[in-house]
Amino acid sequence: MYKLKMKWGLIIKAAIIAIPLLALKALFHFLGIEIVAVGPVITALVAGVFFVIAIILSGVLTDFKESEKMPGELAASIEALYKDTKLIGTEDAAAEMLTHVRELVDTVTQNFKRKGSWKLSEVNAVIDQIDDDIKSFAEKGVSMSLILKLRSELGNIKRISYRVDVIKETAFLPAAYAIAEFSTGVALLVLLLSKTDPYYEGLLLLGAISIIMISVVLLIKDMDNPFEGHATVDLGHLYKLDKYLDTR
């Protein structure tokens, strides 16, 4: 059921929005206020709107493809941090850091699951604890090469965390959304006022075009925040790491 909702959810939403448009089209036909003659200009308008939407979609897709890599990179860095810490031995400091690394996994996964903002302060608080653990290792004479590797992985985790925060908190060019929504609205309005013969052909055309256009605009908005909604990145690597650490 969940996979079905993720796959067809946007189209179902678009179809629900399109139903009132079809009712409005039927009303316009009944009242005889379909004043736009169907011709090449309408075809060019619809094609132009699809072109504009495609350009905006390609811009959002770049950030989405980058976001797809983040959960896997986070999982790889946290796992490397965990395994490298185990090389230090069974000292109390090492055991404490392993606990903090485990806490980091829980904090990251909970932030991804949470709707809305990414709580950067929560992630940074655990990262600071791990940073203090690494400092204590350096004071106890742990190999500098291992210290540098731990610091490198921790820095990578912090960099990705900041990038996730930026993606969740900022919108992709609000003006681009306005253009996509305005152009879609204009195209659908013209189709509502267009006179087609036979009438049912125009009704079918309006339904198909409106569902496609509205679903793509909804997809663009969903992809702008790829960590929630219908167009979400796969967090499976983090969940697998969570289960892996439970068995250690």
What tens digit of pLDDT does each residue of 85-144 get?
888 875 677 888 889 999 999 999 888 887 767 888 899 999 999 999 999 888 888 888
pLDDT at 114: 79
Judge whether residue 9 has pLDDT over 90: no
- As a whole-number percent, the residues of the chain with pLDDT over 70 amount to 95
CB 129 within 8 A of CB 100: yes
pLDDT at 77: 93
| Identity of the amino acid at 16 | I
| Identity of the amino acid at 139 | E
Cα–Cα–Cα angle for 53, 56, 62, rounded to 5 degrees: 140
Judge whether residue 5 has pLDDT over 80: no
Of 7 and 82, the structure prediction assigns the larger pLDDT to: 82
CB 102 within 8 A of CB 79: no
Orientation of helix 92-113 relative to helix 40-86, angle to 10°: 160
Residue-wise pLDDT for 181-240, tens only, equals 899 999 999 888 888 878 888 888 889 999 999 999 888 888 877 887 777 888 888 888
User: In Å, what is the CA distance from 78 to each residue of 40, 47, 196, 232?
Assistant: 58, 47, 61, 22
CB 148 within 8 A of CB 185: no
